[in-house]
Amino acid sequence: MGHPRLQALTAKKKQKKDGRLRGIVRAIESAGRDADLARRSAADPAFRRRVQADRRGALSSFRAVKDALADREKIQKAKRKS
């Protein structure tokens, strides 16, 4: 059985490990969804016009792009604080 405090510690570590794995799985799933969406919208003339007019706004409909933009903003904030 072991000491209850040690059991709680391993449960926390396991939860943290599961969280990392979930993050990787979520990134892979969103990349797959984004790829499917990109394939469907690549031939859409309206989507192409939106990309030409406002590239960042049109591409922000993809989850991977949203995550990348959020990461970029975090990095810029960290640089400003330093």
pLDDT digits (tens, 9 = 90+) for 32-51: 888 887 788 778 888 888 87
pLDDT band of residue 14 (cuts 50, 70, 90) is low
Residue 2, sorted as left (phi over 0), alpha (psi -120 to 50) or beta, turns out to be left
pLDDT of residue 27: 82
Confidence tier at 67 by pLDDT (50, 70, 90)? confident
How far apart are the two ends of the chain, measured CA to CA in Å? Answer: 47
| pLDDT for the residue numbered 70 | 85
pLDDT at 73 over 70: yes
Could you tell me if 67 and 34 are in contact, meaning their C-beta atoms sit under 8 angstroms apart?
Answer: no
pLDDT at site 44: 82
Q: What is the pTM of this model?
A: 0.41
2 phi/psi in degrees, rounded to 5: 90, 175
Contact at 8 Å (CB) between 48 and 15?
no
Number of C-alpha atoms within 13 angstroms, CB side, residue 67? 11
Task: Identify the residue with better confidence: 15 or 70.
Answer: 70
* Token pair 């904030």: residue: 77
